Amino acid sequence: MSATLAASETHPTSVPSEPATSLSLVLGVTRLAMGWTFLWPFLDKTFGLGHETASADAWVNGGSPTAGFLGHATKGPFSGMYQGFAGQAWADWLFMVGLLGIGVALILGVATRAAAAAGALLLVLMWTAVLPPENNIFLDDHLIYALILAILALTGAGRMLGLGAMWDKLPVVKDHAVLR
């Protein structure tokens, strides 16, 4: 074996191929879009921006972010449980902190694994609140989004168009992999 061949096998080039660059771009944009998917409802429910939440029903005006969906849109085997959570202060706070944390982390590309795991859990819980799904006997957008979040977590998408590369170098993140 020649020395040139041996060197190239042990030290691969660092120039990304075009498909890898394209994939990085798509994963980064997808992460940003998923982050906005969580951050927007936080903003709308907090301030009543008029898309889904009227100003009078905003959280800052005393409205409950969970009362509408959990109180009226749930169906299926878990509806009674979810309806019991509707409008409870602990449920409102947990839901809103979750939306904000997941959205901001995904948009910034920090703590992407943790944010994706929390987001997937929230989406699966929302899926169980509407069983069976309206347009399919099993699958709906909640599960598709949860799968997308799994892809983002497993591919390190926080480093693509985000602050993930810098985040991963922080000593606290190096010491606590759950923060990646």
Q: What is the pLDDT along the chain (180 residues), one digit of tens a residue?
A: 444 444 444 444 454 566 779 999 999 999 999 999 999 999 999 999 989 999 999 999 999 999 999 999 999 999 999 999 999 999 999 999 999 999 999 999 999 999 999 999 999 999 999 999 888 999 999 999 999 999 999 999 999 999 999 999 999 999 998 899
Whole-structure pTM over 0.75, yes or no? yes
Distance, in Å, from the CA atom of 167 to the CA atom of 112, rounded to the nearest integer, reads 10
Distance, in Å, from the CA atom of 36 to the CA atom of 58, rounded to the nearest integer, reads 19
> Hey, is 111 helix, strand or coil?
coil
DSSP states of 1-28: --HHHHHHHHS---PPPHHHHHHHHHHH
Structure tokens at 72: 């009226």
* Nearest in space to 95 (alpha carbons), one of 72, 76, 118, 73: 118
What contacts 93, CB < 8 A, 6 or more positions away? none
Count of beta carbons in the 10 Å neighbourhood of residue 170: 12
Name the residue with tokens 């949860």: 146
